[in-house]
């Protein structure tokens, strides 16, 4: 193991305290809808300027880890992803909470986040330099196919009507086009409104599409928000542990997916969660339960999004290219500290890098007790608070959280209106998830598509550009597998059934 002396340095009482405080602060900030991991790290970065570089990194890594996990609370208990990374957590987390298993869902999310975080940190510790090459191998066309891969989840999220899912996704993709085009800078779909020039803010749209419909339905009836069972059940930790052990392969696979997606600059936790969810659903024996409260769905997403923390640090530290937006903030803080990133950092700056990586392990392990305690408190609060307090509190949180993203009142109005549209659409069977998927993946897909198209057209190798690169072909294979695997599997089982009957 590289540098055992750095492990001892990371375990100083000061660093343990920093890691604990960072995880608590990050978890609380991440749990508030609208406050992202990037914001959590950015806001708390100035505290680190007076610290030693290793300790500063430990604090920032702990805040980042905690914030990514914190997003799961609102996703599970309010159907609102606290951070974009937790979008796919809502798919099964909220249905589980509605059935009265919110406490179990929170514990599962915590265990999965810790596992994902540890896998990501292990990759960062042992395989950073070779894995950093993966980031360089990904061109625009690979990003395009990755976004298309994410879009294949529509078939899983369409709740029985694929056409409605596809229509929702197209609506989301059109919403993603609003504002100034990233490549050509043309103004699109603003219809003269200056408010729309900046485009539709993704997190505000997420809050609107997921949280406002919940509020609209919450206020309409005197019924409880979540099903409540009266017997005390504690953390349900052993139950969560047993499920995690049963799903260990899925957990590890999702963590590895999260790490690899985290390495890709700009991809981030939301795509990692969606891709891991898609893969978990494809390979699961209970694939038909996905979207209805399947624990494996929560575990896949949460392990993947927390694995992006370690994964994202690989290109950040080895190449100086931030893997995720919070990594960019941390990279800036490192520069202020006078740390030069690059391949030589692991040899010349070992004391900082390895102390930080061991600190990341420490923060991730501390997330287990912290996450369970805060999660339990959040769950108990949500189920015991009277509706007359819950509705205004959640409404107020959505408004202040949306405002804080771009300091814009217009964003709050757009968020509310999108919520109303989402509620109407949901009423007629158009689920909000495909819309969100289109909105998030639209920008990545368009940018990748247009860049690849331009390069392909300029080099007169358009087909080769899209279908002639090995990584692209591998992703296309996964896309086809993801789309047609349910059909192949059902045909296969029918054939087996016929074969068994013939005997």
Partner 1 sequence: MTSSQKPIRTGDTGGTVICCIFIILAAVSLWDTTHMLDSDSYVFPRAIAIALIVFSISLIVWNLAHPDIAQQQRPQNESTVRRMLLIIIMLLSCFSMPWLGFLISGVITFALLMVVAMYHEWDARKRIIYPLIAIAIVVGFYTLFSRVLQVPLPTGLLFE
Q: How far is the CB of 28 from partner 1 (least distance, A)?
A: 10
List the one residue from 47, 404, 476, 483 that touches partner 1 (CB under 8 A): 404
Q: Tell me if 465 contacts partner 1 by CB under 8 A.
A: no
List the one residue from 50, 407, 487, 502 that touches partner 1 (CB under 8 A): 407
Q: How far, CA to CA in Å, does 236 sit from each of 270, 300, 353, 373?
A: 27, 19, 36, 12
| Choices 55-63, 340-348, 359-367, 446-454 (CB under 8 A): range interacting with partner 1 | 446-454
The two tokens of residue 335 are: 């520069």
Distance CA 391, CA 373 (A): 24
| Subset of residues 211 to 230 that bind partner 1, contact rule: CB under 8 A | 215-222
Q: Tell me if 466 contacts partner 1 by CB under 8 A.
A: no
List the one residue from 119, 449, 472, 482 that touches partner 1 (CB under 8 A): 449
Residue 62 is given by DSSP the state H
Q: Which is nearer to partner 1, 368 or 412 (CB)?
A: 412
Q: Tell me if 292 contacts partner 1 by CB under 8 A.
A: no
Distance CA 266, CA 443 (A): 11
Distance CA 371, CA 108 (A): 11
Q: Which is nearer to partner 1, 237 or 403 (CB)?
A: 403
Q: Which is nearer to partner 1, 34 or 273 (CB)?
A: 34
Say whether 187 sits in a helix, a strand or coil.
strand
Q: Tell me if 73 contacts partner 1 by CB under 8 A.
A: no
| x/- letters, 171..200, toward partner 1 (CB under 8 A) | x-xx--x---x-xx-x-xx-x---------
* Burial zone of 322 (CB within 10 Å; 0-12 exposed, 13-18 middle, 19+ buried): buried
Q: Tell me if 471 contacts partner 1 by CB under 8 A.
A: no
Beta carbons of 272 and 308 less than 8 angstroms apart: yes
> Nearest 5 degrees, angle CA 453-CA 277-CA 147?
10
| x/- letters, 368..397, toward partner 1 (CB under 8 A) | ------------------xxxxxxxx-xxx
Picking from 157, 231, 263, the residue whose alpha carbon sits closest to that of residue 482 is: 157
The two tokens of residue 357 are: 């990586």
| x/- letters, 25..64, toward partner 1 (CB under 8 A) | ----------x---x---x---------------------
Q: Which is nearer to partner 1, 166 or 252 (CB)?
A: 166
Distance CA 346, CA 335 (A): 16
**DSSP-assigned letters across all residues of 124-177:** HHHHHHHHHHHHHH--HHHHHHHHHHHHTTHHHHSTT-HHHHHHHHHHHHHHHH
- Residue 25's φ and ψ, nearest 5 degrees, are -60, -45
Q: Tell me if 416 contacts partner 1 by CB under 8 A.
A: yes
Distance CA 80, CA 213 (A): 10
Beta carbons of 137 and 471 less than 8 angstroms apart: yes
Residue 180: beta bridge partners? 187
List the one residue from 237, 346, 403, 485 that touches partner 1 (CB under 8 A): 403
List of residues contacting partner 1 (CB under 8 A): 35, 39, 43, 163-164, 166-167, 170-171, 173-174, 177, 181, 183-184, 186, 188-189, 191, 215-222, 386-393, 395-397, 399-400, 403-404, 407, 409, 412-413, 416, 420, 424-425, 427-430, 442, 445-446, 449-450, 453-454
């Amino acid at each position: 193991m590289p540098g055992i002396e750095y492990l001892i340095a990371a375990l100083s009482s000061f660093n343990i305290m920093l890691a604990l405080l960072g995880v608590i602060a990050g978890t609380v900030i991440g749990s508030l809808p609208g406050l992202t991991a990037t914001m959590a790290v950015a806001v708390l970065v100035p505290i680190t300027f007076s610290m030693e570089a290793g300790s500063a990194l430990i604090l920032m890594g702990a805040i980042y880890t905690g914030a990514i996990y914190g997003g799961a609370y609102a996703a599970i208990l309010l159907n609102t992803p606290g951070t974009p990374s937790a979008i796919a957590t809502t798919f099964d987390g909220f249905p589980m909470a509605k059935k009265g298993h919110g406490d179990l869902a929170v514990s599962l999310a915590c265990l999965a986040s810790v596992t994902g975080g540890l896998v990501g940190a292990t990759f960062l510790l042992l395989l950073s330099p070779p894995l950093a090459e993966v980031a360089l191998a990904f061109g625009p066309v690979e990003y395009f196919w990755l976004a298309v891969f994410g879009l294949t989840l529509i078939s899983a999220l369409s709740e029985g009507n694929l056409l409605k899912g596809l229509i929702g996704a197209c609506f989301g993709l059109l919403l993603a086009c609003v504002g100034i085009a990233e490549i050509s800078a043309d103004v699109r779909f603003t219809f003269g409104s200056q408010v729309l020039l900046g485009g539709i803010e993704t997190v505000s749209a997420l809050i609107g599409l997921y949280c406002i419909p919940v509020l609209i339905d919450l206020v309409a009836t005197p019924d409880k928000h979540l099903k409540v069972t009266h017997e005390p059940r504690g953390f349900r930790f052993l139950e969560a542990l047993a499920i995690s052990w049963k799903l260990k392969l899925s957990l590890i696979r999702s963590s590895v997916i999260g790490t690899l997606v985290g390495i890709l600059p700009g991809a981030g936790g939301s795509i990692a969660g969606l891709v891991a969810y898609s893969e978990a659903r494809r390979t699961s024996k209970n694939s038909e339960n996905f979207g209805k409260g399947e624990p494996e769905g929560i575990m896949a997403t949460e392990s993947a999004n927390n694995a992006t923390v370690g994964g994202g640090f690989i290109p950040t530290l080895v190449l100086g290219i931030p893997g995720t937006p919070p990594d960019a903030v941390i990279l800036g803080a490192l520069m202020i500290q006078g740390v030069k990133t690059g391949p030589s950092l692991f040899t010349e700056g070992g004391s900082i890098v390895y102390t930080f990586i061991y600190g990341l392990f420490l923060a991730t392990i501390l997330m287990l007790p912290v996450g369970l305690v805060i999660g339990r408190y959040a769950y108990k609060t949500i189920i015991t608070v009277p509706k007359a307090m819950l509705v205004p509190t959640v409404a107020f949180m959505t408004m202040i959280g949306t405002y804080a993203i771009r300091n814009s009142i217009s964003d709050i109005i757009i968020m509310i209106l999108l919520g109303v549209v989402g509620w109407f659409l949901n009423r007629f069977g158009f689920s909000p998830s495909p819309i969100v998927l289109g909105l998030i993946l639209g920008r990545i897909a368009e940018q990748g598509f247009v860049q690849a198209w331009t390069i392909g057209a300029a080099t007169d190798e358009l087909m080769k550009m899209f279908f002639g690169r090995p990584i692209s072909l591998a992703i296309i294979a996964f896309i086809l597998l993801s789309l047609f695997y349910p059909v192949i599997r059902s045909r296969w089982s029918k054939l087996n059934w016929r074969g068994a009957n013939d005997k």
